[in-house]
Amino acid sequence: MEHSMNYAQLQATWPAFSSRINAFVTELGLDKLKLDCDHTALRVNQLSTAEALAEEFSQHGEIISNNMINGRPILIIKLNTPLQLESGATDCVELPFPSDKHYPQEGWEHIELVLPSSAQTCEQLSQALIAAVPNLADVITGKTAIKVKLSSPQGDNERLANPTIAFKHQGLCVKVHPHSIEAIIASEQEQ
C-alpha cells in the first residue's frame, strides 16, 4: 500500500513550513518572547501512514510517549537531530494517529510554544499571554481573522494541568501552553 507521505517528504517540506510558521509567530508578536518550541505536530489521515511514519521516525529518534488522548494513540518522538526554526529548534514531533476527522492537508500542522506560567486554566493563560503581548488581546477576544481555540487536552495519566491556546490562520496553527511536552510526560510517570 502506498503511503500519502514519508519521513523524507516531511524533511523536504520542513523548510517551507518553518518559514511560514515563523512568519505567523512574528505576526502574533510571540517572537519577542523568545519562547521555546517544545514540539511540532503532524496530521495524517490513514492508519497505515501513521504506522509507517512511527517506524521511520523511530529510526531518527526515540518514542518517549505513546498515550491515549481523546480516544486515539498519540506518539511523541524525541529526534536525534532537532528540526531548525528561526527562533531555535525543536526536538520533539507529535504524531497523532488518525481519528474520524479527515484533514484537508496532511503533513506538518502546528508548533507548540511554552510560555512558562503557573496558569491552571485557559483564562489564566490568556491573561498571562495578554500581559506579555498586549496586542494579542484583540486576537484572543475574536476581533481579528485569526481563529482562537482554548482547550485543556489531557492524556489518561497526566497529572499536570496544561491549558492551551491555539491560534489558527491560513492553514497554520501555533499553540501556546505553560508546560513542555517533556514535563507533561514526566508528570505521567508520577503515580
SS3 content of the chain, % helix, strand, coil (to 5): 35, 35, 35
Give the pLDDT confidence of 4-14 residue by residue, as tens digits: 689 999 999 99
> Which pLDDT value is given to residue 191?
52
Residue 108 has pLDDT above 50, yes or no: yes
Confirm if 108 and 48 have CB atoms less than 8 A apart: no
What HEC string does 61-103 produce? EEEEEEEEECCEEEEEEEEEEEEEECCEEEEEEEEECCCCCCC
Half-sphere exposure of residue 141: CA atoms within 13 angstroms, side-chain side: 8
Confirm if 133 and 176 have CB atoms less than 8 A apart: no
Residue 133 has pLDDT above 50, yes or no: yes
> Which pLDDT value is given to residue 150?
94
> Which pLDDT value is given to residue 1?
39
Q: Is 120 exposed, middle or buried (0-12, 13-18, 19+ CB in 10 A)?
A: middle
Cβ contacts of 18-22, under 8 Å, gap ≥ 24: 18/83, 18/84, 18/85, 18/86, 19/86, 20/172, 21/85, 21/108, 21/110, 21/111, 21/172, 21/174, 22/85, 22/86, 22/87
Domains and CATH numbers, the chain: 7-189 (3.10.180.10)
Residue 88 has pLDDT above 90, yes or no: no
Give the pLDDT confidence of 38-66 residue by residue, as tens digits: 999 999 999 999 999 999 999 999 999 99
Contacts of 180 by beta carbon, 8 Å cutoff, 6+ apart: 36, 38, 114
> Which one-letter DSSP state was computed for residue 147?
E
Residue 28 has pLDDT above 50, yes or no: yes
Q: How far is CA 173 from the centre of its chain?
A: 8
> Which one-letter DSSP state was computed for residue 2?
-
Of 155 and 140, more confident: 140
Residue 158 has pLDDT above 70, yes or no: no
Residue 124 has pLDDT above 70, yes or no: yes
